[in-house]
Amino acid sequence: MKKIFLFSLLIAFMFSCSPKQELFVIETDYGNMKVKLYDSTPQHRDNFKKLVAEGYYNDLLFHRVINNFMVQGGDPDSKGAPSTKRLGMGGPGYRTPAEIGAFHFKGTLAAARQGGPSNPQKESSGSQFYIVHGKSVTEAELANLAKQKGITYSAEDIARYVKNGGTPFLDNEYTVFGEVVEGMDVVDKIATVEVAPGDRPVKDVTMKISAAK
């Protein structure tokens, strides 16, 4: 009994010393989302945490919304921007090195980036991000993508895509650095708002991001 008791104390000590998962709340007029960041993408994790601590994202817009695809925000030029202003090019003045690996399941948090030959390293925007809304995915579609891109999907990955959907055609192209753990219904609501040409919501969708208490 003494050995069992000591073992139980050891397990309890190990859990008490393990790092606490840090969560962040994205507040919108459509409700709040809670997101966690991946430790497998430390540069994106730490950059996001830094910007949140600075209040960088407060009052910015989800300026690009495409139903069954994603909702995008984080452009500092969107704060108080008139409806005629072109958005999507702003940032903090730096890029974040790519940490590509995690997949684009529905609800994942990923870094936007400039495409084309000007960004061969697929470096991420310093502040802009998107949350995957996505659509249904079949095993056949995943098999074709895996062959085309040289991706290996585990049985668990396939099951998650088939069950929840996502945007797997973006895999190996953009850095996924977190996911929504609460409030996916809010993403669904934002994804279906009315948008103008250029995919900006007709009615501004503002955000405020803070560390969860």
CATH class of the domain at 21-135+173-211: mainly beta
* Predicted model pTM: 0.90
Other CB atoms within 10 Å distance of the CB of residue 176:
25
pLDDT tens digits, one per residue of 99-112? 999 999 999 999 99
Query: Domain extents for the chain?
Result: 21-135+173-211
pLDDT tens digits, one per residue of 64-73? 999 999 999 9
pLDDT tens digits, one per residue of 183-209? 999 999 999 999 999 999 999 999 999
User: Is pLDDT of 7 > 90?
Assistant: no
User: Is pLDDT of 96 > 70?
Assistant: yes
Q: What percent of the chain has pLDDT over 90?
A: 88
Q: How many CA atoms lie within 13 A of 6 on its CB side?
A: 3
- CB–CB of 102/38 below 8 Å? yes
Q: Which of 18-27, 64-73, 135-144, 202-211 has the lowest mean pLDDT?
A: 18-27
User: Is pLDDT of 20 > 80?
Assistant: no
Higher pLDDT, 11 or 141: 141
Q: Measure the CA–CA gap between 161 and 82, rounded to whole angstroms.
A: 38
Helix, strand or coil, per DSSP, at residue 70: strand
Average of per-residue pLDDT values in the chain: 92
